[in-house]
Structure 1
Amino acid sequence: MKKEYWDVTDEQVVEKTGKKIAAWITILDQFKAAEKKSNEVVAYLQEEYQVPRYWARTLTTLYTKRKDS
């Protein structure tokens, strides 16, 4: 996967989702996203927070990359 798909700034994320990256990390931690399949996490962000699909996927990938580092 290309780095551009998940290497985004807080400003970009706030503009597209209304929340900073740190807020999304907290939300995904509470959802226990690390224990779920990525498609489940994307669907959760879309359904519960109305995050557009592209950005739901971006946040999910960003979350996974940060947890792996």
Structure 2
Amino acid sequence: MLTATPSFMIFHDRRFIDEAAGLLSRWKERISGRRWLAEMTDRELRDIGLSRNDVWEESNKPFWQG
């Protein structure tokens, strides 16, 4: 027996998937950005106004914390 899925259910499911994908993408960007900062030299950090301590604090945040 075939049953129809209401269009609002499809929209809701698609929206959930889009939001979850966006969240995962932001987490991945944070991880990459923090790794990139950690690999910078002290001179590069000075050029952008950060200290090694600033990078340490940022790098030790959980990936879900902005």
Using the size of structure 2 for normalisation, the TM-score is 0.30
| Higher Rg of the two aligned structures | 2
- Higher percent of residues as helix: 1
